[in-house]
C-alpha cells in the first residue's frame, strides 16, 4: 500500500488533507494507445467514483485523478500517460513520475469535469507507479529487467497513412518500402507510381519518439528493428498545407531520431495537404488516432479489417499489455486484477483478445494459429 506524502503548505488544510492521505493511492502510467479503455475500466471497477481530468476530453486526458471505493476500501487512482517504453521503465525501475497532487484538488467534491491546472509543484507530486500499460512486450524496450508480470489486455491495430492529398498512385506500402522510408527519411514517389517522371518527387517520413510503443511496434512490424535510429522529418503546417519539412532537430535524441510524443501530434500533419507542395508525408498511428481525412494505405496489399486481424491476414497489430511487479500485493493487487478484467471487457475494442484466432510471441513476430 502506498500512502501519499504531499507537503502541507498551510495548517488550515491539514484536517481535509489527512483524510485524503489515509487512502490507498494507485498510480498508472504508460501507453496513450489504450487510455480510453483504461479510464472507462477504472470507473467500472470503482464504486462511488468521481474524477477530474486535465485535457480536451476524459478519454484523451493526459492526467486523471479518480476517487472511489474497492469493496468498501477508499482509494485514489491517478493516471499520467507517458508512452509505452517510458511506462515500462518507470514501473520496472520504480522511477518517480509526476502526478496530480491529491491536495491540489478537493477530492471530497470531484465533479467529473475537466480542470485547467499548470504542471507545477503546487499542483503535482512526485511518486512511483504500480501499473504500466504498454503496446509492446517488455523485451522490445531497453528496460528488460527486472521482469514484470505481463497480461495481454487488448489488441491494438495500426494503419499507415499518407498526406490527405496523396495522388491515386499512393494506395499501398510494403514492409520493404517502409524500411527504406524510415531509414533514409524519404523515398521517391516513383516507388509507388512506377513512373520515371516521379523520381524527383519525394515522400517524407514522420512519426513518434523512441519512447513510443507505436513506433516500436511499427519498426518491429516492418523488420527495421526496434532499437534502430530512424530519420523523421518535422513538418510545418500552415492553413492546412505542409509548407516545409526539416530533419527532426537533435535534442534528447540524435537529429532525425526524435518525433511526436503522442499520436495526436501525428494525425493532424497527415491530414494536411503535403503533395501539393512536393512535401507529402507517410506515417502510421494506432487505432485511437486513426483519421478519416488522411489517405489510408493498405499494408503489404492487405486492407485493415477486424476479420483480417483476427485471422492473421493483416499483421500490423500489437497487444496492449498491462504490467506490474510480481510482488504487488494488497488493495493495489486486487485493483490490478479487477482492472484487467474490466479493460478486456471494454466495448470500445475493435478486436478483443478473446476474438483472436492467431497470436504472436513478440512484436512483429511470426503469427501462429490458436486453433
Q: Which CATH number fits the domain that encloses residue 117?
A: 3.40.190.10
Asked which of 317, 334, 352 is the last residue of a domain, the reply is: 317
Predicted confidence band of residue 106 (pLDDT cuts 50, 70, 90): low
Residues 43 and 170 in one domain: no
3 within some domain: no
Could you tell me the sign of the dihedral formed by the alpha carbons of 37, 41, 43, 44, in that order?
Answer: positive
Q: How many domains would you assign to the chain?
A: 2
Residues 230 and 162 in one domain: yes
Share of the chain above pLDDT 90, in %: 74
d(CA 225, CA 150): 22
Residues 165 and 304 in one domain: yes
Q: pTM for the full model?
A: 0.86
Q: What is the 3-state secondary structure (H, E, C) of the chain?
A: CCCCCCCCCCHHHHHHHHHHHCCEEEEEEECCCCHHHHHHHHHHHCEEEEEEEECCCCCCCCEEEEEEEECCEEEEEEEEECCHHHHHHHHHCCCEEEEECHHHCCCCCCCCEECCCCCCCCCEEEEECCEEEECCCHHHCCCCCCCCEEEEEEEEEEEEEECCCCCCCCCEECHHHHHHHHHHCEEECHHHHCCHHHCCCEEEECCECCCCHHHHHHHHHCCCCCCCCCCCEEEEEECCEEEEEEECCCCCCCCCCCCECCHHHHHHHHCCECHHHCCEEEEEEEHHHCCCCCEEEEECCECCCHHHHHHCCCCCEEEEEEEECCCCCHHHHHHHHHHHHHHHHCCCCCCCHHHCCEECCCCCCCCEECC
Residues 193 and 291 in one domain: yes
Domain holding 106, by residue range, is 11-154+318-369
332 within some domain: yes
**Range with the poorest average pLDDT among 59-73, 144-158, 173-187, 326-340:** 59-73
Residues 164 and 278 in one domain: yes
Q: Average of pLDDT values for 166-181?
A: 98
309 within some domain: yes
Q: What is the predicted pLDDT for the residue at 104? A: 62
Residues 123 and 166 in one domain: no
5 within some domain: no
Asked which of 279, 296, 317 is the last residue of a domain, the reply is: 317
Residues 162 and 293 in one domain: yes
175 within some domain: yes
Q: What is the predicted pLDDT for the residue at 12? A: 31
Average pLDDT, the chain: 89
Residues 20 and 136 in one domain: yes
1 within some domain: no
Q: What is the predicted pLDDT for the residue at 121? A: 59
Residues 235 and 299 in one domain: yes
Residues 110 and 192 in one domain: no
Asked which of 293, 317, 341 is the last residue of a domain, the reply is: 317
Q: What is the predicted pLDDT for the residue at 17? A: 40
Place of cell 521503465: 89
Residues 248 and 265 in one domain: yes
Residue-wise pLDDT for 14-67, tens only, equals: 333 444 446 899 999 998 888 889 999 999 999 998 888 877 788 888 888 899
pLDDT of 122 > 80? The answer is no
Q: What is the predicted pLDDT for the residue at 305? A: 98
Residue-wise pLDDT for 232-282, tens only, equals: 999 999 999 999 999 999 999 999 999 998 888 999 999 999 999 999 999
Residues 163 and 311 in one domain: yes
Q: What is the predicted pLDDT for the residue at 19? A: 42
Amino acid at each position: 500500500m502506498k500512502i501519499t506524502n504531499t507537503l502541507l503548505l498551510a495548517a488550515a488544510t491539514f484536517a481535509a488533507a489527512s483524510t485524503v492521505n489515509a487512502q490507498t493511492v494507485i498510480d498508472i502510467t504508460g501507453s496513450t494507445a489504450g487510455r480510453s479503455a483504461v479510464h472507462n475500466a477504472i470507473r467500472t471497477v470503482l464504486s462511488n467514483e468521481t474524477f477530474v481530468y486535465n485535457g480536451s476530453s476524459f478519454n484523451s486526458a493526459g492526467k486523471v485523478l479518480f476517487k472511489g471505493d474497492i469493496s468498501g476500501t477508499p482509494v485514489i487512482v491517478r493516471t499520467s500517460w507517458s508512452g509505452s517504453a517510458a511506462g515500462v521503465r518507470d514501473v520496472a525501475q520504480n522511477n518517480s513520475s509526476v502526478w496530480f497532487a491529491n491536495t491540489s484538488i478537493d477530492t471530497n467534491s470531484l465533479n467529473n469535469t475537466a480542470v485547467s491546472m499548470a504542471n507545477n509543484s503546487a499542483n503535482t507530486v512526485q511518486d512511483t507507479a504500480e501499473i504500466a500499460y504498454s503496446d509492446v512486450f517488455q523485451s522490445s524496450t531497453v528496460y528488460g529487467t527486472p521482469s514484470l508480470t505481463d497480461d495481454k489486455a487488448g489488441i491494438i491495430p495500426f494503419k499507415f497513412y499518407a498526406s490527405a492529398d496523396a495522388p491515386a498512385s499512393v494506395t499501398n506500402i510494403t514492409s520493404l518500402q517502409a524500411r527504406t522510408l524510415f531509414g533514409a527519411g524519404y523515398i521517391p514517389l516513383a516507388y509507388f507510381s512506377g513512373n520515371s517522371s516521379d523520381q524527383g518527387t519525394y515522400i517524407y517520413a514522420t512519426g513518434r519518439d523512441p519512447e513510443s510503443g507505436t513506433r516500436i511496434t511499427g519498426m518491429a512490424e516492418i523488420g527495421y528493428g526496434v532499437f534502430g535510429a530512424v530519420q523523421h522529418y518535422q513538418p510545418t503546417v500552415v492553413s492546412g498545407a505542409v509548407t516545409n519539412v526539416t530533419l527532426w532537430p537533435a535534442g534528447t535524441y540524435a537529429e532525425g531520431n526524435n518525433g511526436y510524443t503522442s499520436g495526436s501530434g501525428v494525425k493532424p500533419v497527415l491530414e494536411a495537404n503535403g503533395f501539393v507542395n512536393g512535401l507529402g508525408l507517410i506515417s502510421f498511428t494506432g487505432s485511437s488516432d486513426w483519421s478519416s481525412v488522411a489517405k489510408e494505405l493498405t499494408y503489404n496489399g492487405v486492407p485493415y479489417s477486424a476479420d483480417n486481424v483476427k485471422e492473421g491476414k493483416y499483421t500490423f497489430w500489437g497487444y496492449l499489455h498491462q504490467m506490474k511487479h510480481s510482488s504487488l500485493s494488497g488493495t493495489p493487487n486486487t485493483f490490478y486484477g479487477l482492472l484487467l478484467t474490466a479493460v478486456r471487457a471494454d466495448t470500445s475494442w475493435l478486436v478483443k483478445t478473446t476474438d483472436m484466432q492467431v497470436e504472436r510471441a513478440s512484436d512483429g513476430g511470426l503469427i501462429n494459429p490458436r486453433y
